[in-house]
Amino acid sequence: MNAPLHRELPVGLLDAERALADVSNQWDKDIVRQLTDYIGIPAKSPGFDKEWAEHGYLETVLRNAANWVEAQKVEGLKLEIVRLEGRTPVLFFELPATGTAMSETVLMYGHLDKQPEFTGWRSDLGPWTPKYENGLLYGRGGADDGYAVYASVAALQALKAQGAAHPRIVGLIETCEESGSYDLLPYVDALRARLGDVGLVICLDSGAGNYDQLWLTTSLRGMASGTLKVEILTEGVHSGDASGLVPSSFRIMRQVLDRLEDSKTGRLLPASFHCEVPAERLAQAQATAAILGDEVYKRFPWAHYDCGGSTTFALPTTTDPVEALINRTWKPTLSVTGAEGFPALKDAGNVLRPYTAFKLSLRLPPLVDADAAVQELKSLLEDNAPYQAKVTFEGGGGATGWNAPETSPWFEQALHAASRAHFGAGCGYIGQGGTIPLMNMLSQGFPKAQMMVCGVLGPKSNAHGPNEFLHVPYAKKLTAAVAEVIAALPAAHRAETATATA
C-alpha cells in the first residue's frame, strides 16, 4: 500500500486519478478472481433453495467474502459474521472515523444471495460457469450483488491509501435479499445500536442508465407476490369427453386475472395500486430521457424475425422515452413468472388438466403499501370464483417501495464531482423498477440520511435472466466514485459546523 498523502491533499478530498488507479489495480489483481469463484457457487436465496442451510452455499460465499475482507488488513476494520437462530447470516464490519470529529456513520450495504438459474443462456455461458470476456464477467450474481462487499472495501482502501479523513463506516451484507429480505429487519434491530447515527447509506445493488456516467437511483418499486391456483377437477380427464362441460382451469384463470389487469393495455385496474408521480421525479425522468433517448427501451433483448428480407422486432408498450421511464418505475405492473399444472409439451396428451397455478409478481409504485396490496390481491382474486371453482391466492410476501429523500446540497455536489472526475459527465438520476426492501427500512429508521443507491446493472446486464454480466470497467469507476463521495462528507460537515458557529 502506498504511503498516506496527508500533506498533499486538502483534508476530506481525494486525488481522483490515484483513487481510480488504486481501485483498478485491486479489481484486476484480486476482485475479478474473487468474483469468478463466487459465480461458480450456486448460492441461491432461501426463497429458491429451502435447504439452503444443509447445502451450505450461502455459508461458503459469506465466509469467502469475510476471509477476503480480513486479508485486506484495512487499518482499524473489525469484521464478524452475525447469526440469529433460524435466519440466514449477515456480514457486519466497522471502521472507526479518522481525521474528523463528526458523529454520523456511513452504512455500506450489499447482498451475497442469488436468483435461480433461469434458461436461455448462451451456449458457452451458464449461471455457475463464470467467463470473463472483453471486460464483462458473465455468470449469476456477480453484478447482483456479489461485487458490492468487494467494491466497498476497495473504496475504503483507496481512502486509507491517501490518508483521507473519513467518518465512521459500517457494512451490512445480507444473504436473503432476493427473497425479499425477510430476515434482514431482525438483524437491523439487533445491530441498531452498533449502526450508529447513519448519515449516508451506500447501496451498490441498483442499476445504471448507461455506462458513461454515475447514476443515482431516486426511487424503487415495491413488490407483492404469491401463487394463484385454480382447481376445477380432482384429476385430469379426457378432453374429448369433458370439454364443453367441464370449464378449463386456464379459462377461469384468465377471468380471474381480468379483475386485476386490462390484458389489452397491461394497466392494473385497482386504483389503490396506483399513486401520483411526484413532480421532481417527473422532471428527472424528462432529463434522463433526454440523455438516454430510445436506449430506454432498446436495451432489452427483443424477439425478432425475418419478414420479407427485413428484420421485424417486437414492440415495447411505448416508444416515448419519458413515458417508458415512468412506466418502469412509477406504474404498477403484473408479471407471471412461473406456472404449474402443465405437462411439458412433449408429454401433453388430450387431457383436460385439473388445475392451473401461476406465480404472480406485482411491481408496485414506490408510495404504495405492499402489505395492503397483498391483502387486496387475495380478496380480489378469491372472491366469487367463476363456476364455484376452488380459487386460492397464497401470498408470497410484499416489500414496500422507496422514494429517495430530498438531496442535500453537499451530496448533490459530491455526486456530480465524482461522476465528472471518473466519467467526464455529471451524475444522472433514474428510478428503478426493481425492489430493495432494505431501503424503505433504512429511510424509516434514519430519515435524515442521504441515500447513495447505485450499481452496475446497466444496459444488457440482464440481472435475474440469462447471460447476466458485470461490466468491470464501470465497476472500477463506480468504486472510485464511492470513495470520492465518502471523502466529501467530512468536508461538508466542517462547512456546516463553521456556518452554524459563525
- Of the candidates 475, 459, 470, 464, the residue with the CA atom closest to the CA atom of residue 121: 464
369 and 410 share one domain: no
Q: What does the block give as the cell for 470?
A: 458485470
496 and 376 share one domain: no
216 and 234 share one domain: no
Three-state DSSP string of 290-343: HHHCCHHHHCCCCCEEEECCEEEECCCCCCCHHHHHHHHHHCCEEEEEEEECCC
- Of the candidates 137, 141, 202, 213, the residue with the CA atom closest to the CA atom of residue 177: 141
103 and 165 share one domain: yes
Cα→Cα distances 401→325, 420, 432, Å = 16, 30, 10
| 390 three-class SS | strand
Q: Tell me, what CATH number does 250's domain have?
A: 3.30.70.360
Residue 464 and residue 487: Cα distance in Å, rounded?
33
Q: Cα angle at 107 between 212 and 437, to 5 degrees?
A: 80
Alpha helices in 84-183 (DSSP H): 147-161
The residue assigned the cell 456511513 is: 106
Q: What does the block give as the cell for 200?
A: 449516508
- pLDDT, one tens digit per residue, over 188-207 is 999 999 999 999 999 999 99
Beta carbons of 95 and 77 less than 8 angstroms apart: yes
210 and 228 share one domain: no
144 and 44 share one domain: yes
Beta carbons of 232 and 137 less than 8 angstroms apart: no
In a domain, 156, yes or no: yes
pLDDT of residue 446: 87
- Which of 340, 365, 399 is the endpoint of a domain? 399
Cα→Cα distances 486→14, 160, 290, 456, 500, Å = 10, 12, 29, 19, 22
- Which of 376, 399, 422 is the endpoint of a domain? 399
Q: Tell me, what CATH number does 418's domain have?
A: 3.40.630.10
391 and 474 share one domain: no
Beta carbons of 337 and 227 less than 8 angstroms apart: no
In a domain, 3, yes or no: no
Quote the distance between the C-alpha of residue 166 and its chain's center.
27
Strands (E), 300-350: 304-307, 310-313, 333-340
Angle between helices 472-501 and 409-423 (to 10 degrees): 150
254 and 145 share one domain: no
Q: Cα angle at 397 between 392 and 403, to 5 degrees?
A: 135
Q: Report which DSSP code applies to 345.
A: G
77 and 107 share one domain: yes
- Of the candidates 481, 484, 482, 479, the residue with the CA atom closest to the CA atom of residue 23: 479
- Of the candidates 77, 65, 80, 75, the residue with the CA atom closest to the CA atom of residue 110: 65
Residue 234 structural domain: 222-274+331-399
Q: Which positions ≥6 away from 484 have C-beta within 8 Å?
A: 14, 16, 19, 414, 417, 418, 421, 422
Residue 228 and residue 338: Cα distance in Å, rounded?
10
Residue 343 and residue 351: Cα distance in Å, rounded?
10
| Residue 409 CB neighbour total at 10 angstroms | 9
- Which of 373, 399, 425 is the endpoint of a domain? 399
Residue 111 and residue 175: Cα distance in Å, rounded?
6
In a domain, 387, yes or no: yes
Query: For each of the chain's 502 residues, which pLDDT tens digit applies?
Result: 333 333 334 444 799 999 999 999 999 999 999 999 999 999 999 999 999 999 999 999 999 999 999 999 999 999 999 999 999 999 999 999 999 988 999 999 999 999 999 999 999 999 999 999 999 999 999 999 999 999 999 999 999 999 999 999 999 999 999 998 999 989 999 999 999 999 999 999 999 999 999 999 999 999 999 999 999 999 999 999 999 999 999 999 999 999 999 999 999 999 999 999 999 999 999 999 999 999 999 999 999 999 888 899 999 999 999 999 999 999 999 999 999 999 999 999 999 999 999 999 999 999 999 999 999 999 999 999 999 999 999 998 889 999 999 999 999 999 999 999 999 999 999 999 999 988 988 888 888 899 999 999 999 999 999 999 999 999 999 999 999 999 999 988 777 666 666 5
Beta carbons of 214 and 454 less than 8 angstroms apart: yes
| Residue 311 CB neighbour total at 10 angstroms | 8
DSSP string of 98-124, one letter each residue: BS-----EEEEEEE--B----S---TT
Structurally, how many domains does the chain consist of?
Answer: 2
The residue assigned the cell 455457475 is: 128
386 and 409 share one domain: no
DSSP string of 14-49, one letter each residue: --HHHHHHHHHHHIIIIIHHHHHHHHTS--B-TTT-
Residue 358 and residue 361: Cα distance in Å, rounded?
10
Q: Which positions ≥6 away from 367 have C-beta within 8 Å?
A: 275, 401, 403
Beta carbons of 146 and 39 less than 8 angstroms apart: yes
The residue assigned the cell 414496500 is: 400
pLDDT of residue 437: 87
Beta carbons of 203 and 454 less than 8 angstroms apart: yes
Q: Residues in the chain, how many?
A: 502
Beta bridge partners of 136: 133, 471
Which letter, b or e, does each residue of 32-43 get, where b requires 16 or more Cβ atoms within 10 Å of its Cβ?
Answer: bebbeebbbbbb
pLDDT of residue 501: 65
pLDDT of residue 438: 83
In a domain, 279, yes or no: no
